[in-house]
Amino acid sequence: MRITVIGTGYLGAVHAACMAESGHEVLGVDVDVSKLAALSEGRPPFFEPGLPELLRRAVDAGSLRFTDSLQEAGEFGQVHFVCVGTPQLPGSYAADLRFVDAVVDGLAPHLRPGSLVVGKSTVPVGTAARLAARVAELAPAVTDGEADPELAWNPEFLREGFAVQDTLTPDRLVVGVTSERADALLREVYAPMLAAGTPYIGTDLATAELVKVAANSFLATKISFINAMAEVCDAAGGDVVTLADAIGHDPRIGRRFLSAGLGFGGGCLPKDIRAFMARAGELGVDEALSFLSDIDEINMGRRRRTVDLARELIGGSFLGRNIAVLGAAFKPDSDDVRDSPALNVAATLQLQGAQVRVHDPEAIDNARALFPTLDYALDVEKACERADLVLHLTEWREYRELDPTVLAKVVRVPRVLDGRNALDVDRWRDAGWTVRALGRAHH
């Protein structure tokens, strides 16, 4: 099938490569010509494990190419995936939908009869119905016997670091449609996944939109819950890791997303729960989601708590102190620094007088673009040189595998604050380090 993917950022580039891998002929569309040039050479503009190989294979095979023309896209494709961003609107909790609107307005006049526009962007409920009406209004008239272009919604559930896997072998496919024909087209698009037994949930447009934000809100709630428990453990002398292990054995609760620490960041969870609250207010049911405000506050409070604990460890003041920050990306196996808790803490420490040096295996360039006044190091030992305190803030495997005995020789004082509760505390203490972690005050 001929498929277009409009927007070749994180979601779009992965989706385009995976659709080509699944046997489709794919055209990627973007306004950023430098990004298109890199993708056309098989080079993704961001770090994602497995994507460069997939992209290069598709480009070399001729099953994936790129353009900046929506007219070309409309004339080429039968199914058009909309994968542009919906960032938080400045001065508001609401989502900024101008990129999605612009794509639909620009594409619709060029749609062929029978084509299907499929939204994958995360949007407030009700957006799909509005855009469906826009497609019907702007699409060219069809002749007798031809089907009108229409719109469906198919939210993405990608985890950065696992995006290729999540696209090729998803844990479910959620599809909001208004016709049997649209449903049949999407079943054809995803035939390899369905043949492998992927659950397929066909529903209406509104439910499809809500599934995405509901899932993200639940995950955010679970993370903030265990971080609230970490706060209680700090006050009461408990151990949040043991607590999480214990309650995680309950099958109704489960252990995943119960790792206490610095909290969540990135380009999805924070802005999605805020946009969900904003939309609930517009629908007149803001009280139903008022708890999400507490979830957001608990999450942001973890950053403040990390700074406070670092100050306490270092003797009450950051002035003149050297601090090494291990991690800049918001999560491991990614170079994404959007709303990164690690970078937020690093910048706060610098503002309060510390000399901060940051290391990350993949995100240094993106971090430097966002926070150019921080110092950066290309290897861990250089970052930790003469440090009075080391902060472990992104859970990269290479940080968990560090040799604390070797690192102790380059720091000024062997003190570490584990903001992710991921280091082997006994191993670090045996190497002479003072170790503190969120929610483990006496452990």
Final residue of a structural domain among 172, 203, 234: 203
Q: Both 105 and 153 in a single domain?
A: yes
Residues 44 and 124 in one domain: yes
- Give dist(CA 109, CA 346) in Å, integer: 48
Q: What is the pLDDT of residue 145?
A: 85
Q: What is the pLDDT of residue 190?
A: 98
Clarify whether residues 229 and 180 are in a common domain.
no
Q: Which residue in the block uniquely carries the two structure tokens 């070749």?
A: 8
Q: What is the CA radius of gyration of the chain?
A: 24
Say yes or no: 170 and 208 in one domain.
no
Number of compact structural domains in the chain:
2
382 shares a domain with 284: yes
pLDDT for the residue 426? 94
CATH number of the domain where residue 430 is located: 3.40.50.720
Bridge partners of 203, per DSSP, are 176
Q: Are residues 310 and 363 in the same domain?
A: yes
Instruction: Using alpha carbons, list the distances in angstroms from residue 93 to 24, 177, 262.
Output: 38, 28, 22
Task: Give the residue among 246, 193, 216, 197 at the shortest CA–CA distance from 86.
Answer: 216
| 188 and 266 belong to one structural domain | no
Those residues with Cβ within 8 angstroms of residue 180's Cβ, 6 or more apart along the chain or in another chain = none
Same structural domain, 260 and 345: yes
Which pTM value belongs to this model?
0.93
* Same-domain check for residues 247 and 175: no
**Which domain, by its residues, includes 12?**
2-203
Confidence at residue 443, expressed as pLDDT on a 0 to 100 scale? 59
d(CA 1, CA 27): 11
Closest by Cα among 154, 168, 155, 153 to 48? 168
**Residue ending a domain, choose from 182, 203, 224:** 203
Gap between the Cα atoms of 14 and 40, Å rounded: 14
Q: At what angle do helices 10-21 and 51-61 cross, to 10 degrees?
A: 60
Distance CA 189, CA 183 (A): 10
Per-residue pLDDT of the chain (443 residues; tens, 9 = 90+): 999 999 999 999 999 999 999 999 999 999 999 999 999 999 999 999 999 999 999 999 999 999 999 999 999 999 999 999 999 999 999 999 999 999 999 999 999 999 999 999 999 999 999 999 999 999 999 988 899 999 999 999 999 899 999 999 999 999 999 999 999 999 999 999 999 999 999 999 999 999 999 999 999 999 999 999 999 999 999 999 999 999 999 999 999 999 999 999 998 999 999 999 999 999 999 999 999 999 999 999 999 999 999 999 999 999 999 999 999 999 999 999 999 999 999 999 999 999 999 999 999 999 999 999 999 999 999 999 999 999 999 999 999 999 999 999 999 999 999 999 999 999 999 999 999 999 987 65
Of 18, 83, 233, 268, the catalytic one is 268
Q: What is the pLDDT of residue 429?
A: 96
Point out the domain boundary residue: 203, 238, 272: 203
CA distances from 199 to 167, 170, 190, 219, 366 (A): 13, 9, 11, 20, 37
Is the domain of 288 the same as that of 341?
yes
Give the pairing of strands 415-418 and 434-437. Answer: parallel
83 is catalytic: no
